[in-house]
Structure 1
């Protein structure tokens, strides 16, 4: 592709003007857009960015979750020309039913996103985990359909590459974090990858608009599903339902050691009665419960000053100074280190982060890329 302008035209064409329309293509573009933001530090080196289909599948699980219900399903297309319903409805509906019976389960449309977060950072039951694995397998198969047919229809794999194994990728290809060398990857052109990052808000808005219209127009049984309800379901954000009890326990142990623990933002000393476990990137912006995104914060500051906002640019030098110290404290405790490394490997790739300073650099790059791309409300250091 010749540049970001051409890449945006291709993305727009896939969403609005493809000869055959279905929401698989919309979901694929939305997922790639979200992944370009989630892995904002990844930049192509002339051979594209390889995206594991399983990462896309995790996002699809969250996107389609609100429409899976045993009693009141919202079909993603009727059984008429070109609008067949999704192939993974049974597996995802079963998973949703199992999740709703758990302690964290609810009827929130965003619970699928929360479940994926728990798979990475929590300890769901074996039954839920096995159901999740079956669901991801079915989703991964379905994802290959829009990868193959996105474009003008005159050729297959005209926009996205045919899924490949790790050993088949060009050595120059930048590879996003993956779980197994046997996984399938699709390669996104460098210019398109950068376009996803730069035009993130526009692309997301277009995806949501087209998806809401599609479901409303494809209402196969006259259930009265309107675009407003679909839009609300697609944009629901998970809450911080996970108690973070383990993390609190670890912070309190740190308080009792050495010089104790200070608020990451105000630098004031903390004790067990005046602190919160704070998400640097708020749950409402991106549901990241990984330990690298969690810092101790003075309760009053967290609840009344920071709230669901992100640090603005004035915090960059402060974070560059403080994050290595807090990350080093996590690395120094064996049980915290194992949890930290699990989240780091998931977010930044296994073997890419070797110490607290490298993690600080990667985290800051991602944090401010998210804030810039999503226009998230911020708070200043001059609080």
Structure 2
């Protein structure tokens, strides 16, 4: 009747769908759409059953066997994480040997499509509310995990029952959070020893870099060059490396070491990654928006306590919520888009010029604080007002695939260093220079659907 990722629309949905030894043959760019269409054909309360091979050592560098068949090395948890975001609940997982003794094993999973999710958050609640507090570094770590769960999911590695997250990625998140706090015209203490007349070592390090980069936007733009190896200013490159290295050490010797007496998070110096149990990571993925709000509020309360109430929680909250200069960012992107002679609205195809051009966050900023170039689209002013904070529907995204991919290729040609950095930060292990636009489109679809599903966001059908 059909094949993955595209399935026909049946007159009735099913109680059970199975995919035994199927999903490993689906490339990453088709994986989410395949799982989404399986969900679309399943009754609420119905079951999805699948199996995956494990520990295959007979594949070449392109993940192909000797017959040249594709075998993507998906981890079981990688698949279930997507399905849980789409409303499934894991019922059973098991592992067994290959019956034909071919040298690998199999994982097997049964999931049920539920109306809603209900998972315990006791561990994270304990971290926020019951553990001893001497600094704001624990909320900063939890906030970074929330943001990585939303923005950088493909940089996370799954190994057995743990996930591994790059320490440098967490440090880069911290820089963004603390930049506005350390730049504030009022003193916002972050540790009990952080005094106006005796600032913390992190604050001193920040001041040395801030003298070279005046605003957060400058740091983020230079960071893209730093990662691409194109930062010509060697002195600045050295400062940025030392700066991020000191923040990494603060993370390792602070919240990693002391959270839950060092039992929850661990640092692997060989991998240069932080590890945590998949069971806890799952909650960050499924409930990142709720956890983030609680973490930021707790962080603001800690600033009030550390300042001995000279800074009230509400004012601290305002600084914690500050991001990049959006107006400046929008003006830069407008100038970039207007260089195109045949500029058109990404959603309607209407011709655009200086008078009717708006910049649209494809996935709205209200749900995802993402100013990456690939999430910013040219759109007609009137259409952008109608879209507002809605997420484009699955049908509209599919219909707009070619204009979206063409637009990305155009922006990539104008800003290759920045675009590549932002692309790798999102695609992670799935980044390849070849066909990156197809993979990005698949993961853009996945992100739009999972955010809309988790938060029950209104969808925009276009015009």
Bigger RCO (CA 8 Å, 6+ sep): 1
Shift of the 70–321 alpha-carbon distance from structure 1 to 2, 3 Å rule, reads closer
Q: Alignment length, in residue pairs?
A: 335
Shift of the 43–323 alpha-carbon distance from structure 1 to 2, 3 Å rule, reads farther
Which residue of 240, 247, 268 maps to 1:139?
Answer: 247
Separation in 2, partners of 1:332, 1:206: 40
Larger mean CA deviation between 275-284 and 293-302 belongs to 275-284
Structure 2 unmatched ranges of 5 or more: 1-89, 91-116
Q: Counterparts of 1:132-211 in structure 2 under 5 Å?
A: 132-145=240-253, 146-151=255-260, 153=261, 157-166=262-271, 184-211=272-299
Shift of the 150–235 alpha-carbon distance from structure 1 to 2, 3 Å rule, reads same
SS in 2 for 1:187: strand
Question: Once the 2 structures are TM-superposed, how far is the Cα of residue 13 of structure 1 from its aligned partner?
Answer: 1.5
Separation in 2, partners of 1:98, 1:238: 18
**Residue 366 (str. 1) matches residue 444 (str. 2):** no
- CA deviations 1:244-302 (Å, max 9, x no partner) are 677556544543xxxx3431122223345432343313455544333321222113323
Shift of the 274–147 alpha-carbon distance from structure 1 to 2, 3 Å rule, reads same
Where do 4+ consecutive residues of structure 1 move more than 6 Å?
3-7, 122-125
Structure 1 unmatched ranges of 5 or more: 106-111, 167-183
Does the Cα contact within 8 Å between 2:140 and 2:174 map onto a contact in 1?
Answer: yes
Does the Cα contact within 8 Å between 2:395 and 2:461 map onto a contact in 1?
Answer: no
Separation in 1, partners of 2:412, 2:192: 53
Q: Counterparts of 1:237-316 in structure 2 under 5 Å?
A: 237-243=323-329, 247-248=333-334, 251-252=337-338, 254-255=340-341, 260-271=342-353, 273-283=355-365, 285-302=367-384, 304-307=385-388, 309-312=389-392, 315-316=393-394
Shift of the 45–320 alpha-carbon distance from structure 1 to 2, 3 Å rule, reads farther
Which residue of 210, 213, 230 maps to 2:316?
Answer: 230
Structure with bigger gyration radius: 2
Question: Once the 2 structures are TM-superposed, how far is the Cα of residue 125 of structure 1 from its aligned partner?
Answer: 9.2
**Residue 8 (str. 1) matches residue 90 (str. 2):** no
Shift of the 333–291 alpha-carbon distance from structure 1 to 2, 3 Å rule, reads closer
SS in 2 for 1:269: coil
Question: Once the 2 structures are TM-superposed, how far is the Cα of residue 158 of structure 1 from its aligned partner?
Answer: 0.4
Superposition CA RMSD, Å: 3.6
Question: Once the 2 structures are TM-superposed, how far is the Cα of residue 11 of structure 1 from its aligned partner?
Answer: 1.6
**Residue 17 (str. 1) matches residue 156 (str. 2):** no
- CA deviations 1:145-173 (Å, max 9, x no partner) are 2112210x3xxx3001223333xxxxxxx
Does the Cα contact within 8 Å between 1:88 and 1:138 map onto a contact in 2?
Answer: yes
Does the Cα contact within 8 Å between 1:278 and 1:295 map onto a contact in 2?
Answer: yes
Larger mean CA deviation between 194-203 and 122-131 belongs to 122-131
Aligned to 1:323: 401
Does the Cα contact within 8 Å between 1:330 and 1:337 map onto a contact in 2?
Answer: no
Question: Once the 2 structures are TM-superposed, how far is the Cα of residue 213 of structure 1 from its aligned partner?
Answer: 2.1
- CA deviations 1:213-248 (Å, max 9, x no partner) are 2222222xx571121211221123434233567755
Aligned to 1:381: 461
Question: Once the 2 structures are TM-superposed, how far is the Cα of residue 60 of structure 1 from its aligned partner?
Answer: 1.2
- CA deviations 1:309-337 (Å, max 9, x no partner) are 2415xx21221232344314543787248
- More strand per residue: 1 or 2? 2
Separation in 2, partners of 1:333, 1:140: 32
**Residue 32 (str. 1) matches residue 140 (str. 2):** no
- CA deviations 1:60-93 (Å, max 9, x no partner) are 112222332597422123349xxx9754111123
- TM-score, normalization by structure 2: 0.62
Aligned to 2:423: 344
Aligned to 1:178: none
